[in-house]
A and B are shown apart, each in its own frame.
Chain A
Amino acid sequence: MVKNTLNFSHKTFLDFLLSGNHLRCSELVQSYLDNKITVNELYENVIKKALYDVGEQWEYNKISVASEHLASAIVEAILNEQGLKTAFKHKINKTIILTCVENEFHQIGIKMVANVFEMNGWNVNFLGANTPTKDLISFVKTTKPDLLAISLSLYFNLPVLENMLQLLNKELPNLNILIGGQAFRHGGQDIFSKYPHTTYLPDLYSTELFIKNLS
């Protein structure tokens, strides 16, 4: 067990990730939480930064796609474990559906958002990667959530997202929609101004603030 680790650097986590050591990663995350790092800080400053570094190491051909996939799989497992531990036991009467757009396979960011909502007592329907728009609309109509959150990691999927927003706007004009994701790291979020009931949230801190302002 890693104890009293007060340095919340993402580098140690990154080293454990790249060596494929799930157990050490889990222990480190737990030690950070025991040392009072908030979940948002953990996600933003440790896990997200480590994953960006993993991506960068693939970019510069320092690691293979296989290593990148291993790192992602470990992080997803940790988010599942950690999400269960921090989920607020007393549910409030609010429901959110979270998904990635069709053809988008990067679901870690939206899983973090799902955990933040769960921590705040929301009923969470996490659909994950690559949800067909038609099926999503049908699911939303059946579930009738208070919010729909959509994630886009790759900018080249923007036309898919726009098509999705147009259909949602037509079929469910009063649905409140949150948008976020790595695709907007260098801009592009201004396009949402033409879609009513749509809010862009750049990170988990703004997501938490959004949730608090609702209650």
Chain B
Amino acid sequence: MDKNLLLETARQLKQVSNKTSEEFEQKGDQLISKMNKLMMERLDIEKLTGKNNINMMKDNHANHVRFISSILKHHNPDVLVETVLWVFSAYRSHGFTTNYWAAQLNTWLQLFKTDLSPKCYEEIYPLYEWMQINIQIFVKVSNKDIEASNSIM
């Protein structure tokens, strides 16, 4: 049911314009670099990511931008939901806290506001708002996956 809700709401997100997806892709490296810097400046970073996970966090930021670039080019609700769920399961299993996702998404949005054009920001915002609103549902659904993995392995 929760996963269906994620899919239903993801289907309501709109395909962004080519101009927006191109701008996002073009500024990708710059966004990743600034994102890493901003997150590393946080005093609570190790609490958010868990111990010895800084490199994994940086990988996540790089993969995040590349994945969002793909989704912005071709909006695909199924791929979006399955991938975000996978990310929640994998990273939480490796020690990342739920609060990391809230902090990460907030920081991306702060960065987009300063580094992307107003039009690009406006078109991308609904996707990030959707991820923010649904953090608890992603946690709940990925909890089921993590519990299932513990029972069969």
B-binding residues in A (CB < 8 A)? 56-62, 155-159, 162, 185-188, 191
Contact = CB atoms under 8 A, between A and B. Distances in A.
B70 A61 contact: no
Nearest to A60: B149
- What 9 A-B pairs are tightest by C-beta distance, nearest first? A156-B66, A156-B67, A60-B149, A61-B93, A158-B70, A186-B82, A59-B90, A187-B78, A60-B93
Interface in B69-91: 69-70, 73-74, 76, 78-79, 82-83, 86, 89-90
7 contacts: A60-B93, A60-B149, A155-B79, A156-B63, A185-B82, A186-B79, A188-B74
Contacts of B47: none
B149 A157 contact: no
Given A60-B93, A157-B70, A187-B78, 12 more contacts: A59-B90, A59-B149, A60-B149, A60-B150, A155-B83, A156-B66, A156-B70, A157-B66, A158-B73, A159-B66, A186-B83, A188-B76
B102 interface: no
Contacts of B86: 59
Contacts of A162: 73
B153 to A, nearest CB: 6
A187 B63 contact: no
A5 B35 CA distance: 53
A187 B93 contact: no
A46 to B, nearest CB: 19
